[in-house]
Amino acid sequence: MQLNRIIHKSLKWNVVLTALLAGLLLGGCDGAGRSQPPPRVPEVAVVTVQPQKIVLTTELPGRTAAFRVAEIRPQVNGLILKRAFKEGSVVKAGDLLYQIDPAPYQAAYDQARAAVAMAEANLPALRSRVERFKELLAVHAVGQQDYDDADAALRQMEAQLAASKAAMESAGINLSYTPIKAPISGRIGKSNVTEGAIVTAYQPIPLATIQQMDPIYVDVAQSTTELFRLRRSLKDGRLHQNGKSQSKVKLLMEDGTAYPLEGTLRFRDVTVDPTTGSVILRIVFPNPKSVLLPGMFVRAVVQEGVNNQAILIPQQGVCRNHKGDP
């Protein structure tokens, strides 16, 4: 019995050892069957660097401004009878905007014209009297005093006629001011008065405002530091003027989109703003569709100059240190 137990235990260990050995052999066969992938060769891009011509630009922030602005104010006192325009519409120079009651000014003009007519009616008789007295004075038929009085009356009437004509012209000018007309063409804003309002000559509050927006100004600020740097680059020969294209300017809208039309640099201001240390550049842009409105924030892309020996490399080939310097 004990012998059988020993033989059974020995057979059990043999089976276990055989199973372990078979597993090891199978694992070795599987590892030998899989081949390791070859190491990946790094890709290297090669770029030939050579000097080339490049136009350097800078973006300057600014705001749009109307090309012309006319604040409409009355030149005579009176009552507004009607408003002849629609708020926000486009008006042309000479269009009627407001009508002031012309009745008192028409009466003043008629009165001045009557005074002129009266003086003109009296002048022929006085001139004839002076001529007769002059002939009679030569033969001593009248005294010198009579002649002098007649001549003085004539001169007085001539002066009165001149004054009456001046008064009539002044009354006519005041009458012509009763219709208030547009001095320029452009888009008119809201009206500050309505029919029935009393207005005074040259009042501080305008009746309305007309703005001409085609073309339109863009005023941008350039720091004096950048201005001096640009001047030194041009003087040292590192930058060159780009001919007629130097004054061409592109525009970026507030949302980053590009304005389709190019502008022209009109002038650079001669005064530095002490609060910002910058000067104003004024650029003129065509605005036929009124896309640009006065007061909009924009960015102007201004040409600084041309570098004929610039070296350009891809951005991927630039490494930076911990400070961010290339």
Parts of the chain belonging to CATH 2.40.30.170: 53-67+212-316
CA nearest neighbour of 203 among 55, 76, 101: 76
Distance CA(67)–CA(208), nearest Å, equals 17
Q: Which two tokens mark 142?
A: 């009248």
What's the pLDDT score for residue 83?
A: 95
Taking the C-alpha atoms of 59, 62, 63 and 64 in order, what is their torsion angle to the nearest 10 degrees? -50
* CATH fold for the domain made of 102-177: Helix Hairpins (1.10.287)
Contact 154, 130 (CB under 8 A): yes
Q: Which two tokens mark 259?
A: 């304005």
Q: Tell me the pLDDT tens digit for each residue of 243-295.
A: 655 578 889 998 889 999 998 888 777 788 888 888 888 889 999 998 999 99
Phi/psi at 270 (nearest 5 deg)? -100, 0
Mean pLDDT of the chain: 81
What's the pLDDT score for residue 6?
A: 43
Parts of the chain belonging to CATH 1.10.287: 102-177
**Can you tell me whether residue 119 is helix, strand or coil?**
helix
| CA 268 and chain centroid, separation | 15
- The domain defined by 53-67+212-316 carries CATH number 3.30.470.10: no
What's the pLDDT score for residue 153?
A: 87
Contact 290, 89 (CB under 8 A): no
Q: Tell me the pLDDT tens digit for each residue of 55-82.
A: 667 888 999 999 999 999 999 999 999 9
Q: Is the pLDDT of residue 313 over 80?
A: no
Q: Is the pLDDT of residue 29 over 50?
A: no
